[in-house]
Amino acid sequence: MNGLPLISIMLAVPLLGAAWTLAGGAGARWIGMLAAGATFALSAALWVGHVPGGPAFQFEERVAWLPDLGISYHVGIDGVSLLLALLTTVFVPIALVASATTVTTRVREFVALVLVLEFAILGALVSLDLFGFYVFFELMLVPTFLLVGIWGGARRAAAAMQFFLYTMVGSVAMLVGIIALGRSRGTFDYVELQASLARPGGALSGTDEMWLFVAFALAFAIKVPLVPMHSWLPEAYVQAPLPVTVLMSSVMVKVGAYGFLRFCLGLFPGAAQEASWVVALLATIGIVYGALVASRQRDLKRLVAWSSISHLGFVMLGLVAATTEAIQGSVIQMVNHGVSTGALFLLVGMLHERARTWAIDQFGGVARAMPAFGAALVLVVFSSAGLPFTNGFTGEFLILIGTFRSPATHLQAFAIVGATGVVLGALYLLRMYRKVMQGPVNPAFISPGGDGPQRVTIADLTGREACLLAPLAVLIFWIGVYPKPFLDQTAPAARTVAAAVGGEAGKAPR
């Protein structure tokens, strides 16, 4: 399969699907589903063909684009980008199916923009040229801005504009850094830049490396987002239509964490080591602050949005710890967060479709009327809270144990404080479950029965909804019980980064 340009085909399919959708008239959602399904099949073929322990980047393709400037079309995958590409191609079909009941106007345009967003995310994940990465990174802004601004809630324009401006500030800083680094070395190719910086006498000065690190890190910190650059996220998540919220939380923000791992740690390991305490401090504040604010929410969608900030703090903490276990834990946690938070948004969206409210106080006793929904919600709550034998536990455990093993001993204090976020997460999630699912059934969900028996009017999961949740439930148990296939894929990349940043040559967990 290495002889086929699988990555380019995978990138082309959603883009062609978007064009076909706009030109196809009726059946736009089916066309989008066909394109998204084909993209998933191609990403699965990459998974099957990827050889852990083989070349650092596989399925590489390189074509000169602007050779005089040192810019090329260069794509390839390693275990990290492969996992996140798979996560993306899993969630796009789920989002399109979920849109059937939530997006009923301008469907062609909506489906086309979702496919363009998928193209941009996948392009950013596989780009091995800094200029190409920047193009895809910026392209994500356009469909997201339109999806929130056109199909969002009452404050959609303000939320879309805030998201756009925040991200643009970081992107401009990164562009300056890319130009400075690329022009100084005569190439924008990631592999060539790594080799140039690793040569004897090729390293950047400490000051130059730190400035470049900051320029890149700012863009990725906003995208993740790290506190205090987080304020765009809750409003964007709340105002976006549910399928877009699912895509933003599950896959789009992971590009920020991926970029930090790939470029900040991969190109500027010395600066990353020096700045580790700053990033760890912000990540730990995000873990605790996000959990505390989530615990005060009375709106289901806002609660899940703030919990997302808390959980992403663990990802960043593991990355700067720079041990093999912590880096692998962070990569696995990117996937876990996508699965658990995406499932939570889907579930609260299903409640909203039935009750037409996000207010937690407007529910009660839902488990009696919706037993299948209640079982799905308790599974996802346990997953998000990091219960053993669920996916959340695997990632958080590796991050914490890897941080405690970090040569930078000051990070251990951040790990101890950050661990309180696990407890706080369990508290607000279980409290939400109790208020929504337990107790007496809300009278609003009971029809007057006259002289006959009363009837509960809120319906349980439909077959379509169960099919949406089924693959996520499989991933929750699979990663929680047997994470080895995922760890094997990410081990070589994690070891390489750990050796560069932390000076570790240890083995990956098995």
Mind listing the pLDDT tens digit for each residue in 185-234?
999 999 999 999 988 888 889 899 999 999 999 999 999 999 999 989 99
Tens of pLDDT, residues 471-507: 999 999 999 999 999 999 999 999 999 998 876 644 4
Which helix (DSSP H) or strand (DSSP E) does residue 63 occupy? strand 58-66
| pLDDT (tens digit per residue) in 453-468 | 555 667 889 999 999 9
Q: Where does 438-483 have alpha helices with state H?
A: 463-481
Residue 270, token pair as written in the block? 């010395």
- 416 contacts: CB under 8 Å, gap ≥ 6: none
Tens digits of per-residue pLDDT, 228-243? Answer: 999 899 999 999 999 9
* pLDDT given at position 439: 82
Q: State whether the Cα torsion 136-139-141-146 is positive or negative.
A: negative
DSSP, res 76: E
CA R_g for the chain:
22
Q: How far apart are CA 317 and CA 172, in angstroms?
A: 25
Identify residue 12 by its one-letter amino acid code.
A
Q: Indicate the residue type of 45.
A: A
The token pair that represents 128 in the structure block? 């091995």
Local confidence band at 60 (pLDDT 50, 70, 90 cut-offs): very high
Closest CA to 186 of 68, 265, 76: 68
Q: SS3 for 276-294, per residue?
A: HHHHHHHHHHHHHHHHHHH
Burial class (CB in 10 A: 0-12, 13-18, 19+), 38: middle
Are 216 and 259 in contact by the 8 Å Cβ rule? The answer is yes
Question: Is residue 451 pLDDT above 60, yes or no?
Answer: no
More confident residue, 410 or 467: 467
CB 460: neighbour CB atoms within 10 A? 16
Average confidence (pLDDT) over 431-438: 93
Distance between CA atoms of 264 and 239, rounded to whole angstroms? Answer: 31
The DSSP result for 218-236, as a single string, is HHHHHHTT-TTS-THHHHH
- Which is higher by pLDDT, 117 or 65? 117
What pLDDT is attached to residue 188? 95
pTM of the model: 0.94
Quick one: average pLDDT of 244-263? 95
Give residue 356's pLDDT band: very low, low, confident or very high (50, 70, 90).
confident
Q: What is the pLDDT of residue 441?
A: 76
Whether 383 contacts 340, CB under 8 Å: yes
Helix (H) or strand (E) holding 149: helix 141-151
Degrees (nearest 5) of the Cα angle 274, 174, 163? Answer: 110
232, 163 Cβ separation under 8 angstroms: yes
**Integer Cα distance of 112 and 115 in angstroms:** 5
State the number of CA atoms in the 13 A half-sphere of 400 facing the CB.
Answer: 17
Is the pLDDT score of 24 beyond 80? no
Question: What is the arithmetic mean of pLDDT over 335-344?
Answer: 96
Q: How far is CA 189 from CA 114, 131, 322, 325, 410, in A?
A: 29, 8, 24, 28, 35
The share of the chain scoring above pLDDT 90, in percent, equals: 79
Phi-psi region of 27 (alpha: psi -120 to 50; beta: other; left: phi over 0): left
Q: Is the predicted pLDDT of residue 426 greater than 90, yes or no?
A: yes
Summarised one tens digit per residue, pLDDT across range 25-55 is 678 999 999 999 999 999 999 999 999 888 8
What SS3 class is residue 74?
strand
Q: Residue 176 and residue 456: Cα distance in Å, rounded?
A: 60
As a whole number of angstroms, the distance between CA 383 and CA 472 comes to 11
